[in-house]
Amino acid sequence: MSPALHHGAPRRYVLDANALIGFFEDRAVTAGKVERLIVVALRQDLPLLMSAVNWGEVFYTAWRRHGQAQAQQVDSRLREMPITVIDVDRDRATRAAALKQKHNLGYADAFAGRTGDRTRSMACNCGSGILQAGENTVGVFATPA
């Protein structure tokens, strides 16, 4: 899973919540793939991207499954990683909601897709075939759980 070059430039990657949850829970295949993306991001000084909505899903999932203390540790670890969390405003929320409706996506998945679309990045997910949608068609590769 080496990063593809996009018109001579390194490709940016957007992580969905399941990719990061799999990393933090050390799921064999997922953790390895996300770790390789992190290494490439550090080497190229080109941070991975994640929607604030997807980050919220990672945090609440860690809290629900492992307790508040573990969720706070996950938050601390994220702050040390080469991941830029993209804020959500009214326009992004509206565009993600439209993407969700048009393509029958989960709400948080629509934010990952829309973040990839707006940044011309490759969205990475652990779910089952998130999407090939959006005005600029977001490419997606699955990181199986």
The reported pLDDT for the residue numbered 119 is 57
Could you tell me the pTM of the whole model?
A: 0.75
Q: Quick check: helix, strand or coil at residue 15?
A: strand
The token duo for 35 is: 């770790």
The reported pLDDT for the residue numbered 82 is 96
Q: Which domains does the chain have, with CATH numbers?
A: 13-142 (3.40.50.1010)
The reported pLDDT for the residue numbered 128 is 44
- Cβ atoms of 29 and 1 within 8 Å: the answer is no
Strand partners, 5: 10
- Cβ atoms of 77 and 23 within 8 Å: the answer is no
The token duo for 26 is: 């050390």
The reported pLDDT for the residue numbered 55 is 95
> β-strands 9-10, 5-6: how paired?
antiparallel
According to DSSP, residue 121 is labeled -
- What's the average pLDDT block by block, 10 residues per block, for the chain (145 residues)? 52 85 88 89 92 94 96 95 93 88 82 68 51 36 37
